[in-house]
Amino acid sequence: MQALLKLSHGIDAFTRWTGKRLAWLILVAVIISAMNAIVRKTFDTSSNSWLELQWVLFSIVFLLCAPWTLLDNEHIRIDIINNMLPKTARNVIDIIGHAVFLLPLTVVMMITGVPFFQRSFQLNEQSGNAGGLPQWPAKSLIMIAFAFLFVQGISELIKRIAIMRGMIPDPHESQVSAIEAEVEHLVEAIEKK
């Protein structure tokens, strides 16, 4: 299990490193958007490629930073209900969720994403808009993003099993405690009414 935890640590480090760097692309997209608007209003000229570049940059951040979101336990879940459950039940839910839902979905998306990208690449698919960008680089993001998410899902599964075995502390325990305190405060406020 120690070898798996070492692997998990390496995956987490890669995910965090990648996410922190790719998140800056939001700033690049905002700058491109502002410059495109200024040029369009000032010189009454524009190009669809600049607009499409904004979409691609946002897609890169959204898709390739999803594993970082999973790593930091910021993914969507019903926290109020989840945090009312005992720690063991939350861990079991996470293990089942990762093993039965997350990992199979990522595999399906990778398998279907590869031919989707390959067809686009072979055709050198271009945008339907005049002056637009090639489409295959954006389509490659699907298979890449879900491969990254699959690897991070494996890491999360390894850590959750190690937490249940008492081998490592829960890295999100303080986050859960703060949410539990807020839930208790809300319950008390409701009971007073």
Residue ranges covered by each domain of the chain:
2-192
143-186: pLDDT as tens digits: 999 999 999 999 999 999 999 998 888 887 766 556 666 767 77
Q: Side-chain half-sphere of 160: how many Cα atoms within 13 Å?
A: 22
Is the pLDDT reported for residue 46 higher than 60?
Answer: yes
Give residue for tokens 């703060």. Answer: 178
For residue range 15-37, list pLDDT tens digits in order.
999 999 999 999 999 999 999 99
- Average pLDDT estimate for 7-21: 96
Instruction: Give yes or no for a contact between 188 and 126, defined as CB atoms under 8 angstroms apart.
Output: no
Sequence-ordered list of residues with C-beta below 8 angstroms from that of 67, at least 6 positions apart, any chain: 15, 18, 19, 148, 149, 151, 152
